[in-house]
């Protein structure tokens, strides 16, 4: 069965610091998707990025960047020059593509990020 581990339970930084959120996953599928979602204090779950297992290119979107390394089963997320509005719970998730697991998301435990002014 698949598993997602976010070892960092809580991270606290001061505004403008860079911060990296770690995510490690386990799966027996050769084809899968990895996701990051953000859950601000208001509670909704906001999609940030999806990566498929064949695409190991790192991606940058504004202040956000993602580092996918299949060799270490990791999909880390970096926020550059953090802002107070980045304060939220961040979830890493995995979706397998085979059989009965198709489309289902397995979430990590989440990392609570607090950015202080």
Partner 1 sequence: SAVISQKPSRDICQRGTSLTIQCQVDSQVTMMFWYRQQPGQSLTLIATANQGSEATYESGFVIDKFPISRPNLTFSTLTVSNMSPEDSSIYLCSVRTGREPQHFGDGTRLSIL
- Candidates 81, 85, 79; CA nearest to 114 is 85
In sequence order, which ranges of 23-111 are alpha helices (DSSP H)?
none
- Candidates 5, 111, 96; CA nearest to 48 is 111
| Inter-CA distances, 1 with 24, 48, 73, Å | 14, 24, 15
From residue 35 to residue 74, what is the string marking binding to partner 1 with x (rule CB under 8 A)? x-x-----xxx-x--x------------------------
Q: Which residues pair with 11 in a beta bridge?
A: 113
12 lies in the site for partner 1, by CB under 8 A: no
Strand, helix or coil for residue 99 = helix
Q: Smaller CB distance to partner 1: residue 17 or 38?
A: 38
In sequence order, which ranges of the chain are alpha helices (DSSP H)?
none
Binding-site member from 86, 94, 108, 115 for partner 1 (CB under 8 A): 108
3 lies in the site for partner 1, by CB under 8 A: no
From residue 71 to residue 90, what is the string marking binding to partner 1 with x (rule CB under 8 A)? --------------------
In the complex, the smallest distance separating the C-beta of residue 96 from partner 1, rounded to whole angstroms, is 12
- Which residues sit at the interface with partner 1, rule CB under 8 A? 33, 35, 37, 43-45, 47, 50, 91, 95, 100, 103-110
């Amino acid at each position: 069965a698949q598993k997602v581990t976010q070892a960092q339970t809580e991270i606290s930084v001061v505004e403008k610091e860079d911060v990296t959120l770690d995510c490690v996953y386990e799966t027996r599928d050769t084809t899968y998707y990895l996701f990051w979602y953000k859950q601000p204090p208001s509670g909704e779950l906001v999609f940030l990025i999806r990566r498929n297992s064949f695409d190991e290119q790192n991606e940058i979107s504004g202040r956000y960047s993602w580092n996918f390394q299949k060799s270490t089963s990791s999909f880390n997320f970096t926020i550059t020059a953090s802002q107070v509005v980045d304060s939220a719970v961040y979830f890493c998730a995995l979706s397998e593509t085979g059989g009965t697991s198709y489309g289902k998301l397995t979430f990590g435990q989440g990392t609570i990020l607090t950015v202080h002014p």
